[in-house]
Amino acid sequence: MTHPVSTGAVYDRGYRPYEGRRGGRRAATAALYRTSLRRAIGIRRPWRQKVAPAVLLAIAVVPAVINVGVGYLTRDTPAEGFEFITYREYLGVSSALLLFVALVAPDIVCPDRRQRVLPLIFARPLTGRDYALAKVGAIFTCVFAFAFLPQVVLYVGQMLVSNGALDYLTSHTAVMWQVPVAAAALALFYAVLGVAVSSLSGRRMVAAATMLGITLVSSTVSGILVQAGRAPGEEVGGGHAAALINILALPLRIRDLVFLGRIGEDSPLTGVAGGGAASLALYIAVVGVCLVVILTRYRAVEA
């Protein structure tokens, strides 16, 4: 009688103590920030999740490419120096930014609540403030890059197609601080607004629709009130205080203050006494309210 040959194997897999460096709250917050950032731009996700960020970024870069192309074609001609779009106006491409944030913010915030993983996250050395910092920081980074990178393309391209790169650089030194500051103000506004709205719901579609509704409805109502407040025959450029309730245009008022030191002539707030100061105060108020909402929501979950 033959005995079957055994084909099994025994592996000695013992446990070894972890001897690496142990991270605390700071390391956990940084890890959550990196994870949120990767999710926002589609890294290590299916190709479908990469399409929207890539397409929106491409759309944002198109005006810079067109402007550089026009500058190259008109070089050494009477039309030399023509600008299709200025640096200040370029930061006004807020529709693409709004759509980007409306897609990204709910995607990195809402699933944690809906899938009930927040208690697991807060079982680590993380507080509600750390969680909020990581999420707001991830969206801030994405929006800042989204607004800043096209400006870099525009600046470098314009410098290369100009007759004197050094002359262009010296005559546009102010842009080198104006663009980052204005882009940071824009990114902070959208980041806190996106996280605040997304923290109130566990459903991404609801959060996205709510954010679009808040911004677009306020813009529409503001436009109606501005038109209704103008006297018959008054010029279109006449300002009206009702323009202040336009949440969508609020960061653009801050952009004007950075670039011009005042509200731009193309703004419906032009001519309103104290319009710049009121815009700055309202910007700070909206950012402050959003931060309070975020910290309150996640402090309650942490508890």
Q: Write out pLDDT tens, residues 95-124.
A: 778 888 888 889 899 888 888 888 887 777
Could you tell me if residue 11 is inside a domain?
A: no
Query: Could you give the number of structural domains in the chain?
Result: 1
Strand, coil or helix: 188: helix
- Alpha-carbon distance of 105 to 85, in angstroms, equals 29
Q: What is the pTM of this model?
A: 0.85
Q: Looking at this protein, which amino acid is placed at residue 110?
A: C
- Look at residue 232 in the predicted model and tell me its pLDDT: 57
Could you tell me if residue 10 is inside a domain?
A: no
pLDDT of 32 above 60: yes
Could you tell me if residue 123 is inside a domain?
A: yes
pLDDT of 1 above 60: no
Q: Rounded mean pLDDT of the chain? A: 82
Could you tell me if residue 109 is inside a domain?
A: yes
Burial (0-12, 13-18, 19+ Cβ within 10 Å), 76? exposed
Could you tell me if residue 142 is inside a domain?
A: yes
Most confident segment among 135-139, 267-271, 297-301:
135-139
Could you tell me if residue 260 is inside a domain?
A: yes
Could you tell me if residue 48 is inside a domain?
A: yes
DSSP for residue 230 = S
Could you tell me if residue 254 is inside a domain?
A: yes
Percent of the chain with pLDDT over 90: 19
Burial (0-12, 13-18, 19+ Cβ within 10 Å), 40? buried
Cβ proximity of 88 and 255 under 8 Å = yes
Strand, coil or helix: 57: helix
**Domain range holding 189?**
25-302
b (16+ CB within 10 A) / e for 237-275: eebbbbbbebbbbbbbbbbbbbbeeebbeebbbbebeeb
Strand, coil or helix: 166: helix
pLDDT of 215 above 80: yes
